[in-house]
Structure 1
Amino acid sequence: MSAPVVLTVSQLNRYLKALMDGDQNLSSVFLSGEISNFTNHYKSGHLYFSLKDSQCVVRAVMFAPQARRLRFVPQDGMKVIVRGRVTIYEQSGQYQLYVDDMQPDGLGALNLAYEQLKTKLAAEGLFDASRKKPLPQFPKAVGVVTSPTGAAVQDIKQILGRRYPLAEVVLCPVQVQGAGAAEQIAEAVARFNRLDCADVLIVGRGGGSIEDLWAFNEEIVARAVASSQIPVISAVGHETDFTICDFGADLRAPTPSAAAELAVPDVRELAASIAGARQRMCQSLGLEMHRMRVDQMVDRLTRKMGRELETGKMQLAEKSAALQALSPLKVLSRGYTVALDAQGRTVKTTEKITQGDSLSLILQDGTISCTVTKVETNRTAGED
């Protein structure tokens, strides 16, 4: 009987690893399970986690090159389907799954990534209404960030030229789908802001699948649009398409054509508005002239009444002076006296006065009652 072979731990682990690596059934395995113990090593980019079902668990790792291709962020409790190979990690002797690809189980990866990014940016306040900037009423230059060959740019140019030919159209051509598109769009928005060469921006493209529109769902585009000092109109896809760019922009347009209509006023409407304002101004001016004539008439009447009042005052003063001169009191003030008989009649002569009659003498400051003791009649010259 031969002696048993004594192996080192390393030899055992290498042997088992070789067995598993040589097994074709373990070289490409699809597993479904729930993520737990998820760890994202941000410095290395590697993802470490476990996959479990109701009874068992297996360790798993996804290295940085594969992890960078993910459209969504894995999280604990998320149900996924993964593809990878099963082998042993020699140092620990623990077998684990090396994941090459991962997809959400149920909801698509792109839809999940969309919802995750939307929730994240909304929590930061990036979509708050208080951040939205008003569009300029009469822009001098309209910046357009889109593909130079798509139908969207032609529609935008045509509508801007028809509605408001006074505005200059500044096109910054970019790739709107595929690798590098998101970076080009974000850089174009930043360039417009650095050069300050537009009063309002239209960022968008025509319709397509979620994959075609995905550049406008990237975080770099959403942040560039939200941080733009120039107001941004997002116009991506058709009316039913919503992208992350739409939420970050100052205004969403259902289509690129609608964005062009929102960006500028219509010169025909402006002309009609000016004509209406001119007509109202003329009507108002006519009313104003009428009011001026009324004011002039009132002013003339007021001046005439003032002159007549002054004349009346002067005439009254003259008549008062005349009456004052004729007043008996005026005579009395000069030392004269008025005599009244018992019946209150003025005594003008001595003919009807006899000794013993009672008279009242009116002076300037009062009345004296007296009795006649003697009557003398003055004879005028020439009388017998």
Structure 2
Amino acid sequence: MAVDDEIGSGNAEANETAWSVARLNDEIAATLESAADRFPTYVVGEVSDATAKGYGTFFTLRDVDGDETIQCIIWSSYRDRIEGDITEGEEVIVRANVDFYTDGGRTQLNVKNYWPVGNSERSQQLEALRAELADEGLFADDRKQPVPSFPSNIGIVTSLTGSAREDFREAAWGRAPGVTLTFFGATVQGTNAVPSLVGAIRQADQDPDID
């Protein structure tokens, strides 16, 4: 058999056996649903990227020992019955169901309740950063400057690696295509996070072009 014939045969077989994206996602959803009892009801992790909206709170739950993450949501019907707010950097245990959304191929935890489990390393770093900045008077009312209704240059302190910059660009330019974004790089995790963030904030604060 010629090479071209083998390729053609392979293509024909692939055409006959290939699944559509819709079928694949439906099969994944059905498999997860049938194996629901294999998944834990409780999951522990650290909170990041928490965003509250009228209908619920979205956040990312990060593995306490690694970089693995999963997206979470607390619908307002549950959120309003939970004491306290979800806190950035806090280590928590969540009680949740695993949901798979076939339209976007996304897995998400549907959180019913959560409990803090103590001071995590990231939480301690954030508290240390807040304390240091407060000692410098950066949170004092007389240091606060009015924010223009239509800022032309926005300073952002974040990691220069990963997807953070693209996320900021997409969000900002989706609302204000002409705005300039100036990024100040910092380490956002680990023992060097606090001094790195403080240095980047100082740099941004001293930049006269930042609104």
TM-score by length of 2: 0.45
Q: Which has the greater radius of gyration?
A: 1
Considering Cα pairs closer than 8 Å and 6+ residues apart, tell me whether 1 or 2 has the greater RCO: 2
Higher strand content, 1 or 2: 2
